[in-house]
Amino acid sequence: MDKLSPARRSWNMSRIQSRNTKPEILVRSMLHRLGYRFRIHMQGLPGQPDIVLRRHLAIILVHGCFWHRHKGCKLAYTPKSRLEFWERKFDENIRRDEEVMRELVKMGWRVLTIWECQITDPKELQDRLIHFMKEEQE
């Protein structure tokens, strides 16, 4: 009945939980204000990337620090109970993120990862986006 493997399903669950988050929406509206057109959660690309700027061959991933395990970040804490469960889940997420990144880069996409904890200063976020989008022209 259920064709998804447990690993795949839990990955999908974590993706669903990390969709349309506040940080993601902030990045989207900032890009919009800068005049960029993009698609979101694009099917048919590895990992269904959060933000895809096809004409620019650019992808922006907005990562929740907890699910995607931002290294050294206080938001990426490990729950104290069911330690094994969480560690397995986190390992899965990290491996999956690395795989997605490798595939996207191989396909010729430029990828910018923005962590949720980095979205505190709108000006800084804007500078970062502008910088990333300008790199293609070099």
Site residues, Zn ion (CB under 5 A): 65, 70, 73, 75, 115, 117
Which of residues 18 and 53 has its CB atom nearest to Zn ion in the complex? 18
What's 54's DSSP letter?
G
What is the smallest separation between the CB atom of 65 and Zn ion, expressed in angstroms?
Answer: 3
Which of residues 28 and 70 has its CB atom nearest to Zn ion in the complex? 70
Which of residues 69 and 89 has its CB atom nearest to Zn ion in the complex? 69
What is the smallest separation between the CB atom of 120 and Zn ion, expressed in angstroms?
Answer: 11
User: Residues of 72-106 as b/e, b for ≥16 C-beta within 10 angstroms?
Assistant: eeeebeeeeeeeeeeeebbeebeebbeebbeebee
Tokens of 112: 């910018």
What is the smallest separation between the CB atom of 113 and Zn ion, expressed in angstroms?
Answer: 11
Tokens of 81: 């109970």
